[in-house]
Amino acid sequence: MLKLLHKYQEKLVGHGLCEPGKPLVGGVNDTVIWNRPDPLTAELEAIIAALNINSIIFARPTEPFFSILNYHCRRSDAELVPEDTETRTFLHSIPVARSMAAAEIVPLLRKRKGCVVEGHGVIAFGTVSPEQAFVVFSSIIFSAFVKFFVDYAYARHAGVADMAAAEILPDVLAAYDRFLPAEADADLESGAFTEEDDILRAMARAGQATVDARMVDSFFGNISYFAGDTVYISQTGSSLDELEGCIDACPIDNSASTGITASSELVAHRDIYLAGDSRAILHGHPKFSVIMSMLCFEAACENRGKCHIKCDKQRFVADVPVIPGEVGTGPRGLSNTLPPAVHGRRGAIVYGHGVFTVGKKDFRDAFASLSAIEALCRQTYMRIIAGPVQD
Amino acid sequence: MHGWSGKILTVNLTERTTAELILPAEVYQRNIGGKGLCGELLFDHFRYVWDDPRLPLAFMTGPLNNTSSPTSGRMTVMSRSPLTGAVCDASVGGRLGTVLKRAGYDGILVTGRSGDWCGLTINESGVALQSAGHLAGFAISDLHARLTTAPGMQSGAHAMVGPAAENGVRYAAIVFDGHYFAGRGGLGLVMAEKRLKFISVSGTLKTDVFDRNELKLAREEIYRLVAASPVLTGDLGLTNYGTGALYDLMRSRRMMPTNNFRQTYFEPAPSMNAYAYKKRYATKKFGCAGCHILCKKVGERGEIIPEFETMSHFSALVGNADLDAVVAANRVCNETGMDTISAAVALATYAEITGLQMTPEVLLKMLEDIACGRNDGALLGQGALRYARESGRPEVAMVSKGLEFPAYDPRGAYGMALAYATSTRGGCHLRAYPVAHEILRKPVATDRFSLSGKARIIKISEDMNAVVDSLTACKFLFFAASLEEYAKALQGVTGMRTSAQELLKAGERIYYRERIMNARNGFTAADDDIPARFFRESGSSSESLRIDPINRSEFLRERAAYYRIRGLDDQGLPTQEKCRELDLPC
């Protein structure tokens, strides 16, 4: 257990979400153990005692995320409700506490998997593994970040001067630049690959590069390669920086169901391969791509509020289509909307969710496209908010 | 009340009387429904042995039945097991849970013993007991056909027992709507002992919903998660392949029980997987009321395609490589009404002790012998443990608390070892179902070859599944959704303000009560165990994957941790302190 606590402490730091030495990670079996001593553990153990859980994380996020969370806390009564896919599907809402008192936090965690504590940080728990707490922690940060920029752009467009946001914006952007690596580049192998060992190695490297470039939080995203009659794809809930032993080989005729643990996007990946000449697909959640996907200034659109499933406009960021689609295979699922959108293009952005890019022979062009689309989206966003406030 | 009808039908078969039991609202709120209500109503009667007429047999629905909540068509049946003497409940699909609510009842509580075979009919005309002697001996499909053509029952739902129950098989099932089994532990024999051959129900009432909009929002959240679940609705998931989708995975993880758990890898498995059934039988899907996953499969000529456990046990466990024989063996069990898991383990035990090869012919003949109570089948029908003891080889019976193990070898998922041991029902995978995280990676993956920290995970999962069986929802849905979404659905239906964690607390009380019931009947830590084979013998390793015996010391250490977490003493017995905390009599 202690090994797991340290693993997620290191992940929080390694992913730039927390400063070294800051995260508190607790594991619960018949006793509670911590990754390090801290005066706050007593209050956190009071929270643990009131809940049926097996792990908990508390940490103050790094900038710009901490400032963004506090900004949201100041403007929210009881909870935030971002509209990105991670919130809609998994978090539902993000409750807000005003103090670290167990009496205030326990009722919030009885309903939700995590919460924000104004001026302190984020608390998240797991019932099976600290990995759940880590995923919730990073999702809260992601969703709050996206909401901040989406709300700001819409406010400007609506002619509402959000002075509080405008005031912190320069620092937020500067801190975000520090959060990103100096260069979003990767030394990836050239393909095409035919041997399984080569495929698995190439996928592991591309996955690691995507996480290192901060274009996906570990755990989310997926990756695949098509060779012969098999799609090699990352498993559901696998971390792109920990792909060893977490890639399923799925025959395209479905003659074996070993890949039942494969990513929920297996069908979308397979249909992209079958409809074109790609061999590699990379899916990340780069933040400004997600933000741009959620910005649509179409006046009086009847699908407003249901864009993620009902948008029927031809939307693009430059040459990259923005499409609706929910995770998985449902009637409004990505398995239906993504393959036609990607056909003949370098990739597509899924509303509120992330970016899928394709590679002809290997992951080099898929990774380059992912980076380029994110850079394009950030530039586009900055142009939007640099324009005059609409009246 | 919203969600619950507020009435439970009580039936005394000795007196041939019926009445309506009205429980206070707080009893419903505390127990939720299904498994919780069953435990509440059986608690004071649980010292009666299985064939004592005073022992109740309970059929309980949940507040979500007959609403638009996803997978709300299930119900729970509970009594004391003739096979194990322990608590025995089964969550069962089909339509009876829904239709019983439409008839205006939350459940049926049956006591007493009829002089002759009888049937219970509930419809708009009222409740009636009728003679059913003429239905004895019928195969399940024939019996079901007769029940569905009875006047006013064409759109009804039916529970019934078949020849296996009539002939005293201790793992006889209650069969619902011809296809859905309350399969484990011999609930069918309890029903047969009461000489109750069938229950037929029809009704048209609606269930009052407190807030339709809140229920709608919860439903949307659940559907969204289900659509995102590869295990449920992915191309290789349960919607397309049924539970048989797990077959390839168990083989690849080298945890497929083979030759009575002597090996964990079955060479012919690739030709007997779910894809093979789909190709050979051109399968279509069907399922329970209120479910859109539809995990059951039927062939184009009406062949019922076996579920995963049956697929695995009638192939690997008994050493049979004939696909058609698996379907035929499943048919024998279905038509006679007996649990495929226990039947297969009994046969595998027999094969190990006698050295007999389970050819398709032998397999089918012996299953028929079990169901008819003839030749060696008579003793095998008493369960693997009784047979193995009679043969002087009790260590060969792969059971816990006398209940035969399903198709997950615990050497390939150590949490399963602890879950088998602590289950109040015995060798059951469904109480905690650690396969979800150890193999299927839901909600996240855990290390399947480690017991570290599993005690608390198992305890939480047992509490969660106690809630699921009380709601009454389908456990498969919880590969995707969680109590967070179902708490919202429950609020929408009943108006009861609750949360995921408050439901878990209710689940803890429901599960602890079962520990008390078992303790009162003599169950101790000695029963919270698994066979020595798993601690002494390796499974089938490959060059890259070792399947070692489970470390006994680590197992006992984690079991002791489980007792502390669960609030039991070091003998696994309930404590005054925990009983007080949960407001239960000790």
Backbone angles phi, psi at B155, to 5 degrees: -105, 20
From B390, B407, B424, the end of a domain falls on B407
Residues B416 and B402 placed together within one structural domain of the fold: no
The CATH number assigned to the domain holding B402 equals 1.10.569.10
Residues 464-503 of chain B with CB under 8 A from chain A are 464, 484-485, 487, 499-502
Q: Looking at residue A240, what is its pLDDT?
A: 93
- Considering the domain architecture, whether residues B388 and B458 belong to the same structural domain is answered as no
A28-87, pLDDT tens digit by residue? Answer: 999 999 999 999 999 999 999 999 999 999 999 999 999 999 999 999 989 999 988 888
ipTM attached to this prediction: 0.89
Q: Which segments of chain A belong to CATH 3.40.225.10?
A: 2-179, 196-386
Which has more confidence, B121 or A299? B121
What is the C-alpha to C-alpha distance for residues A159 and B64, in angstroms, rounded to an integer? Answer: 47
State the Cα–Cα distance between residues A330 and A293, nearest whole angstrom: 21
Quote the domain boundaries for residue B582.
412-479+499-586
Please indicate, yes or no, whether residues B417 and B403 belong to a single structural domain of this protein: no
**How many separate domains does chain B show?**
3
Tell me the whole-structure pTM to 2 decimals. Answer: 0.94
Would you call A111 and B501 a contact, using CB atoms and an 8 Å cutoff?
A: yes
Identity of the residue in A52, A112, A326 whose CB atom sits nearest the CB atom of B504: A52
Report the share of chain A in percent with pLDDT over 90.
79
The CATH architecture that domain A2-179 belongs to is 3-Layer(aba) Sandwich (3.40)
Q: Evaluate if residue A389 carries a pLDDT over 70.
A: no
Query: Which residue in chain B is spatially nearest to A135 when comparing CA positions?
Result: B444
Residue A309 banded pLDDT, cuts 50, 70, 90: confident
- At B140-175, the pLDDT tens digits run 999 999 999 998 898 899 999 999 999 999 999 999
Do B395 and B528 fall within a single domain?
A: no
Q: Quote the CA–CA distance of B11 and A41 in Å, as a whole number.
A: 55
Give per-residue pLDDT as tens, B412-428. 999 999 999 999 999 99
Q: Are residues B322 and B452 in the same domain?
A: no
Q: Determine what percent of chain A is predicted with pLDDT higher than 70.
A: 98
pLDDT at residue number A219:
66
Q: Is the peptide bond before B472 cis (omega within 30 degrees of 0)?
A: yes
Same domain, B328 and B439: no
Chain A partners within 8 Å of B237 (Cβ):
260
Q: What are phi and psi of B450, to 5 degrees?
A: -135, 140
Interhelix angle A334-342/A266-275, nearest 10 degrees? 30
- With CB atoms and an 8 Å threshold, state whether B234 touches A88: no
Say which CATH number the domain at B126 has: 3.60.9.10
Contact at CB, A54 and B460, closer than 8 angstroms:
yes
The answer to whether residue B522 sits within a structural domain is yes
pLDDT at A391: 46
Architecture of domain A196-386: 3-Layer(aba) Sandwich (3.40)
On whether residue B207 sits in a domain, the answer given is no
Closest CA to B429 of B401, B399, B460, B405: B405
**Which range scores top for mean pLDDT: A177-191, A326-340, B93-107?**
B93-107
Which residue among B135, B169, B201 closes a domain? B201
The Cα A349–Cα A337 span in angstroms is: 11
Q: Are B112 and B42 members of one domain?
A: yes
Taking a contact as any Cβ pair under 8 Å apart, which residues of chain B between 380 and 419 contact chain A?
Answer: none
Helices A65-75, A130-157: inter-axial angle, 10-degree rounding: 70
- B379 domain residue, yes or no: yes
Give the number of beta-carbon pairs within 8 Å between A and B: 163
pLDDT digits (tens, 9 = 90+) for A133-156: 999 999 999 999 999 999 999 999
* Domain closes at, from B139, B174, B201: B201
User: Which of the residues in chain B have pLDDT under 70?
Assistant: none
Tell which A residues from 84 to 123 touch B, by Cβ distance under 8 Å. 88-90, 92, 109-113
The verdict on B247 touching A (C-beta cutoff 8 Å) is yes
Q: Measured between alpha carbons, how far is A29 from B77 in angstroms, rounded to an integer?
A: 32
B236 lies in a domain?
no
Which residues, 6 or more positions from A360, have their beta carbon under 8 angstroms from its beta carbon?
A: A277, A278, A279, A280
For residue B424, the domain's CATH number is: 1.10.599.10
